[in-house]
Amino acid sequence: MSSAPSDRRRSPVTTARAQDRDHAESVVGELFLPNRLDLGHGREPLDMHISGIRLDGLTVGRLSYGRSVTVTTAEADDFHVNAPLSGRARSSGGWPGPAIETAPGTAAVFGPGRPAQIAWAASCTQLCLMISRSDVETELETLLGHSLRARLDFDPAMDLASPTSRAWRGLLGVLAGEVAGGPGLIDRPSVGRHVRGLVIDGLLIGQHHTYTDEMDAATSPAPTSAVARAIDLVHDRSDEPWSTVRLANEVHLSVRALQEGFHREVGMPPMSYVRDVRLHRARDLLGVATPDRTTVAQVATQVGINHLGRFAAAYRDAFGELPSDTLNTPG
């Protein structure tokens, strides 16, 4: 669990190892929020590993302690998500309800204004996210079309295998890889802003909260013309950092209406359609490019794709060959 002062400045990557309790508390507190570490009665040595990065409005960290511990945090300022990558955790206090158990494929969602207590199993490594409260609430107000009338609370237990949160699980995988191997993409300002938007939209759309029923209230079917405008936007500006929320706002539809309209017109969710358009545009560009003047990375960036590993895998699934094969095939 985590939260740091609302410092919107970018800070360097944090990578640290600590075998002393005070040092471990200090490092986690600097990246996230003040905390107290209880080692219990076990004699196993503490071996904390952390790697993380703070972007504008989003902090991501990969954290393990090497032994069973209990972490008690200070009162949080922002929203937080803890997703185990291995092992199990038991979390409580970040919501007015009982403790929840999490393991890979699940996550705990913590709200601002409350301290939390997280018991880590010795084998537990978690991906910890801190997400700006003001950014989340502002995005929700945009979705609703009015100011929030009451506190925003998320259900604390998140099932990352559910249809609504499955795409968010893929995003968490990208973030875990970035902080484990050192930032290669999200440290770039434009990519970082895009990732932050996807995290916020995925949380608001994929996890039930106090405004979900209002967001999902029955709406009139999206007019075919509005969905067509959204489709045209994707084709004309495929390199832009589209999210479902942003695309819905552009054509003056609710998120639910846009999703239903895309399923009706093209048979897939908006972001799946964005991905397919980008893949086909990349294939067209690679097919006419010359290998000595163009790289796969340049084409991927040109169409709005920022993760080359996932791009190569998705491209192969779609077309039966790697992007480098298309580039190097004589026209």
pLDDT for the residue 331 = 58
pLDDT of residue 12: 53
**Burial of residue 157 (number of CB atoms within 10 Å: 0-12, 13-18, 19+):** middle
Do 265 and 137 lie in a common domain?
A: no
CA 291 to chain centroid, in Å, comes to: 34
Q: Which residues contact 238 (CB under 8 A, 6 or more apart)?
A: 274, 277, 278, 281, 303, 304
Entry pTM:
0.73
Total tally of structural domains belonging to the chain? 2
Same domain, 183 and 103: yes
Query: 182-192: b or e for each residue (b if 16 or more CB lie within 10 Å)?
Result: ebebbeeeebb
**Could you tell me if 170 and 241 lie in one domain?**
no
- pLDDT (0 to 100) of residue 221: 63
Domain of 17 in residue numbering reads as 11-192
Residue 155 belongs to some domain of the structure: yes
Which of 148, 176, 192 terminates a domain? The answer is: 192
The pLDDT value given to residue 88: 97
Domain boundary among 192, 207, 227: 192
Non-local (6+) Cβ contacts of 30 within 8 A are: 4, 14
Q: What is the pLDDT of residue 54?
A: 85
Q: Are residues 15 and 131 in the same domain?
A: yes
Domain identity same for 305 and 224? yes
CATH number at 223 reads 1.10.10.60
pLDDT at residue 113, rounded to an integer: 94
Using the structure block, give the residue that is written with the tokens 């609504």: 164
pLDDT at 304: 85
Average confidence (pLDDT) per 10 residues, the chain, 331 residues: 44 80 95 94 91 88 96 96 96 90 96 95 96 93 84 95 77 78 61 80 90 73 82 91 84 82 90 92 90 87 80 89 85 58
